[in-house]
Chain A
């Protein structure tokens, strides 16, 4: 990356160095002005009062709000990662099936789940679990939002992973499949034993960045009343009327976790690139909340 960007301009001479210095000074001044304006507005509304920040950061806040919230966020995302992976593998296989009708039907299902916004899915699933499933006694009605979040995240991200599996297999060099055929494997064996394992290795970084997507989308559970990090932070903030401070802390927790995951994904891509014939770069497009890549 840096090799590519640095060639956009020459090594600076004396004049360019002076211009860069001036630009740096201007940029710094602008940032300072913005920070001062924000601080002034915060102060005007009495948001810099120490007790507001103390109450957003003390032991009570962490023990009773952030950590329980984070636990539910991580728990629901963690389960959703596993179920989405299973869903994605099953549908990825089906989309590579030798029968056109199976490919077609699974293709429609995958495209549907990728096109529907996760929030729409979650609203529906929440009502489905609370009004249809809960009365049968299968789940407690208090858990409707929890299951709504998990299933909503599963079907959307599962559909994305199914596409990753399919495109991962498609991007393998043709020789892999030919070699499998040459040693007498059937199409199914070749897929199961040669192509998908390699595609999965190549996918690992993308899977990690998909975990970032799932973590971020789990915050949508806030809108169906799921008690996760955002919900707990809002509750804490309403209690001490320091909602700005608690939301900032919640955002920082998300940023730190996701930053580490993204960094790991990039590291992993580097180490894995020798293990497969395919491309291991994490799909950058999958690091946003919801993406759809159209089948070529």
Chain B
């Protein structure tokens, strides 16, 4: 236990967790927007859009996030020389956010699609009966109900995203898992305490998100 408290002074543990949280927030927005668009594609009457949505989801969902991250950093940045920012850290942070957004968008899309399945047939029929075409019907009738029905899978995706921000270590973003690695490297005798600190940090972030998800899905459930 000797020297454990000094670790908090020597290493910016809270800063590292703040990095995970920032990655989570930005990638959550990115994946939600892209995932919703893909979900609309997948339920649209236009065949080619459905094809694009299905192809995207089946490809990305079956690819390890680590490969997407490494492809971004080693191939797109390293070989294709695509640079978002001059600043090294900011550039890799952007890469991490994009990789996380692209990956989790496929799960957001599937979550929303499963939410669409909870909307009874009559809702879409009623929307058509009052003369709404596909996009207004989707925007005004189907999606608002679908999103409420999709709270649980969306919440699970957000939780998975939070934990997956650690994979940004592959893009050398200074986040909690990478920090833990260097902390243990230099203080191997404290490894169990260091691990528990980081692990409990994630429990503190993740477990309330799960409870909130359950609470929200009960509260927002459409009474039928």
A119 adjacent to B202 (CB under 8 Å): no
Q: Which of A93-101, A197-205, A244-252, A267-275 contacts B (4 or more CB under 8 A)?
A: A244-252
In the bound assembly, the distance between CA atoms of A121 and B7 in angstroms comes to 20
Which chain A residues in 55-113 approach chain B with CB under 8 Å?
111-112
Known: A8-B134, A123-B177. Contact between A292 and B206, CB under 8 A? yes
The residue in chain B whose Cβ has the minimal distance to the Cβ of A27 is B48
B163 adjacent to A290 (CB under 8 Å): yes
In the bound assembly, the distance between CA atoms of A289 and B49 in angstroms comes to 26
The answer, yes or no, to whether A136 is at the interface (CB within 8 Å) is no
B42 adjacent to A5 (CB under 8 Å): yes
A124 adjacent to B176 (CB under 8 Å): no
- A26 CB to nearest B CB, Å: 9
- B10 CB to nearest A CB, Å: 18
Task: Report chain B residues within 8 Å CB of A234.
Answer: 70, 74
Q: Which of A9-17, A166-174, A178-186, A188-196 contacts B (4 or more CB under 8 A)?
A: A9-17
Which chain A residues in 4-54 approach chain B with CB under 8 Å?
4-5, 7-10, 12, 16, 20, 23-24, 27-28, 31, 41-42, 45, 47
A45 adjacent to B80 (CB under 8 Å): yes
Known: A47-B79, A244-B75. Contact between A7 and B202, CB under 8 A? no
A294 adjacent to B202 (CB under 8 Å): no
Task: Report chain B residues within 8 Å CB of A31.
Answer: 48, 52
Task: Report chain B residues within 8 Å CB of A47.
Answer: 79-80
In the bound assembly, the distance between CA atoms of A288 and B138 in angstroms comes to 26
A10 adjacent to B128 (CB under 8 Å): yes
B67 adjacent to A247 (CB under 8 Å): yes
Task: Report chain A residues within 8 Å CB of B68.
Answer: 251
B62 adjacent to A5 (CB under 8 Å): no
Task: Report chain A residues within 8 Å CB of B138.
Answer: 8
A8 adjacent to B48 (CB under 8 Å): no
In the bound assembly, the distance between CA atoms of A247 and B103 in angstroms comes to 16
Interface centre among B67, B152, B206 (most CB of A within 10 A): B67
Which chain A residues in 267-296 approach chain B with CB under 8 Å?
284-285, 287-294, 296
The residue in chain B whose Cβ has the minimal distance to the Cβ of A259 is B62
Task: Report chain A residues within 8 Å CB of B223.
Answer: none
Please count how many residues in chain A sit with their CB below 8 Å of the partner chain's CB atoms: 68
The answer, yes or no, to whether A117 is at the interface (CB within 8 Å) is yes
B156 adjacent to A23 (CB under 8 Å): no
Which chain A residues in 140-198 approach chain B with CB under 8 Å?
none
Task: Report chain B residues within 8 Å CB of A230.
Answer: 64, 66-67, 70
A112 adjacent to B199 (CB under 8 Å): yes
Known: A217-B64, A244-B71, A258-B62. Contact between A111 and B117, CB under 8 A? no
A116 adjacent to B177 (CB under 8 Å): no
Task: Report chain B residues within 8 Å CB of A216.
Answer: 62-65
A254 adjacent to B124 (CB under 8 Å): no
A24 adjacent to B206 (CB under 8 Å): no
Task: Report chain A residues within 8 Å CB of B71.
Answer: 244, 247-248, 251
Known: A284-B114, A290-B164. Contact between A119 and B177, CB under 8 A? yes
The answer, yes or no, to whether A138 is at the interface (CB within 8 Å) is no
Q: A8-B45, A42-B80, A284-B114 are in contact. List 12 more A-B contacts (CB 8 A).
A: A4-B117, A8-B142, A9-B134, A23-B49, A112-B203, A115-B206, A117-B166, A218-B64, A219-B65, A230-B64, A244-B80, A289-B160
Pairs of residues from A and B, 8 with the lowest C-beta to C-beta distance, nearest first: A258-B62, A294-B210, A219-B64, A244-B75, A117-B163, A124-B195, A216-B64, A219-B66
Residues of A within 8 A of B (CB): 1, 4-5, 7-10, 12, 16, 20, 23-24, 27-28, 31, 41-42, 45, 47, 111-112, 115-121, 123-124, 127-128, 131-132, 212, 215-220, 222-223, 230, 234, 237, 243-244, 247-248, 250-251, 254-255, 258-259, 262, 284-285, 287-294, 296
14 contacts between A and B (CB under 8 A): A9-B45, A12-B45, A41-B80, A47-B80, A116-B199, A120-B195, A222-B70, A247-B67, A247-B74, A251-B64, A288-B61, A288-B107, A292-B206, A293-B210
Residues of B within 8 A of A (CB): 42-49, 52, 58-59, 61-68, 70-71, 74-76, 78-82, 104, 107, 110, 114, 116-117, 121, 124-125, 128, 134, 137-138, 142, 152-153, 156-157, 159-160, 163-164, 166-167, 169-170, 176-177, 180-181, 184-185, 188, 191, 195, 198-199, 202-203, 206-207, 210-211, 213-214
